[in-house]
Amino acid sequence: MSPNAAIPSHRKPRRSASSRALRAGVTGGIITLAVTGASMPAGAAEKPVSETQEMPTITSALSTSLAKSADTAQQMALDYELQAAQDTATTQATEAATKAKADADRKAEAEKKAEQARKAKEEKAAQERASRSSERTSLRAMSASSDDSPVTGATGSTASLVSFLRAQIGKSYVLGASGPSAYDCSSLVQAAYRTIGIDLPRTSQPQSTAGTQVSMSNLQVGDILYWGSAGSAYHVAVYVGNGNFIGAQNSSTGIVEKPLSYSQPTGAVRVL
């Protein structure tokens, strides 16, 4: 027996050789690689590994496909940008329209109020004009003739009163004077009434309450006219008919006969 017959071999068994092939392809525009091989028996002689690599050829069709994919992606991006821009423009237009409508509503309301105020002012002015016209008509109705015509409706004591007053026209106004060449307003009224036997207070304040208060639309010859409030009047004169009065007005005019419109009295008191 050989001395080495029982000693096992320490040589490692040969590995099965495999032949590998590397193949490439294109799937959905993506390059793929695959390795294939075949097992060889253990005892087979090792052969050099045969490795192959097949790379795809870039054809015009592939280029066109890739270009279309890129164009599609770019077009989608552009579409998204366009839609976003349209949405922004729509929002801005809506906000601008809302603001414009609110401004228009405020302007219309202001114009409406201004128009109402204008109409109210015109109506008030028309009423005032109508009132003044009515007063002038009333005064003209009371006037039967010119300022120098004889007094109508004055008889007896009233005629004597008016006659005395007319005789004083043209004389001077002097504050505190009591005639016969000069008077102030209240002394002239006192002197006129004294000629028909009626004594009146000396000053205008008590003269404005010496009789019965009457309205300016119901005047009679001989009524005492006053300016200011009753009891504290600052001026007096006598109504002589025809819409006129006689009074000692001031130092510039002296004693004159004037229409009521010359200086509208505040009120009147009736003594006769």
Q: What is the pLDDT of residues 118-137, one digit of tens each?
A: 888 888 877 777 665 555 54
pTM over 0.75: no
Average pLDDT over residues 107-116: 89
Give the pLDDT confidence of 7-40 residue by residue, as tens digits.
Answer: 555 555 555 544 454 454 545 544 444 545 544 5
Q: What is the pLDDT of residue 134?
A: 56
**pLDDT attached to residue 235:** 97
Higher pLDDT, 87 or 182: 182
Percentage of the chain with pLDDT > 90? 42
CA 133 to chain centre: 35
- Dihedral of CA atoms 111, 116, 121, 122 in degrees, nearest 10, equals 100
Residue 237's nearest CA partner among 269, 215, 213 is 269
Angle made by CA atoms 99, 105, 106, in degrees to the nearest 5: 90
pLDDT over threshold 60, residue 146: no
Query: Which of 249, 271, 269 lies closest to 259 in space, CA to CA?
Result: 249
